[in-house]
A and B are shown apart, each in its own frame.
Chain A
Amino acid sequence: ETGVTQTPRHLVMGMTNKKSLKCEQHLGHNAMYWYKQSAKKPLELMFVYNFKEQTENNSVPSRFSPECPNSSHLFLHLHTLQPEDSALYLCASSQDLPDRAGEAFFGQGTRLTVV
């Protein structure tokens, strides 16, 4: 496999459920990101990891919990979500920060629906 792979592609969960999104990159990058994309809104940066260390947490509610066990894998753990959290969740990676931060490679995303 090449590029950035996200699983699952689609997820429907109840507000009391716990689920995890997975992201894997095969590009040798050291920076990984979680973004939220809602219809007709700008991409919202949620979390940034550089060399497995979290460098940014953009005021994301604690019901979203990231995990980065190594430079190739990134998880987003979800619990007690709200219907307004329904969106496309995109994972991305880039070469080392900061020089190559703008050239990001995205996964296909997980379409999340909270019911």
Chain B
Amino acid sequence: GQNIDQPTEMTATEGAIVQINCTYQTSGFNGLFWYQQHAGEAPTFLSYNVLDGLEEKGRFSSFLSRSKGYSYLLLKELQMKDSASYLCAALDSNYQLIWGAGTKLIIKP
């Protein structure tokens, strides 16, 4: 079956760095996506990886290892507004997104 695993909840301190891990098992693979969802709001696209390596976009970076079925989202210089759920999703061979349950990130002052 297809499965995405990520931690349920993480806590970090304002100004610090946090890494949210995601492992995936899918039928085929066409890319790994990270979305951010603030409470009561729509998910918004953050990043996309299809090749191994690190993609950097400002304070956020995303890493992919296809051989290990593993990705992480790295958030630097954390701000209170980064408190949200972070959703990991893999695009399978049918080009359907398979979603994780999301990681709720709590930022403390």
Instruction: Report whether chain A binds chain B.
Output: yes
Give A contacts to B, CB under 8 Å. Answer: 4, 40-43, 45, 48, 56, 90, 97-98, 101-109
Q: Which residues of A contact B97 (CB under 8 A)?
A: 43, 45, 101-102, 104
Give B contacts to A, CB under 8 Å. Answer: 4, 8, 30-31, 33, 41-45, 48, 87, 89, 91, 94-102
Decide: A40 and B33 in contact? CB cutoff 8 A.
no
Decide: B4 and A42 in contact? CB cutoff 8 A.
yes
Q: Which residues of B contact A107 (CB under 8 A)?
A: 42
Q: Which residues of B contact A106 (CB under 8 A)?
A: 42-44
Contacts A43-B87, A101-B91, A102-B48 known; A90 to B42 CB distance under 8 Å? Answer: yes
What CA separation (Å) do A21 and B87 show in the bound complex? 24
Partner of B91, one of A4, A42, A48, A102: A102
Give 12 pairs: A residue, B residue, CB < 8 Å, sorted on A: A40-B102, A41-B101, A42-B4, A42-B101, A43-B99, A97-B95, A101-B91, A102-B33, A103-B33, A104-B97, A106-B43, A108-B42
Partner of A105, one of B45, B91, B95: B45
Decide: B43 and A56 in contact? CB cutoff 8 A.
no
Number of contacts between A and B (CB, 8 Å)? 53
Decide: B99 and A42 in contact? CB cutoff 8 A.
yes
Q: A102-B31, A104-B43 are in contact. List 14 more A-B contacts (CB 8 A).
A: A4-B42, A40-B8, A40-B102, A42-B102, A43-B43, A43-B97, A43-B99, A90-B43, A97-B95, A101-B97, A102-B33, A102-B89, A104-B45, A106-B44
**Considering only CB atoms, which chain B residue lies closest to A90 in the complex?**
B42
Q: Which residues of B contact A98 (CB under 8 A)?
A: 30, 95
Decide: B101 and A40 in contact? CB cutoff 8 A.
yes
What CA separation (Å) do A90 and B8 show in the bound complex? 21
Minimum CB–CB distance from A106 to chain B (whole Å) comes to: 4
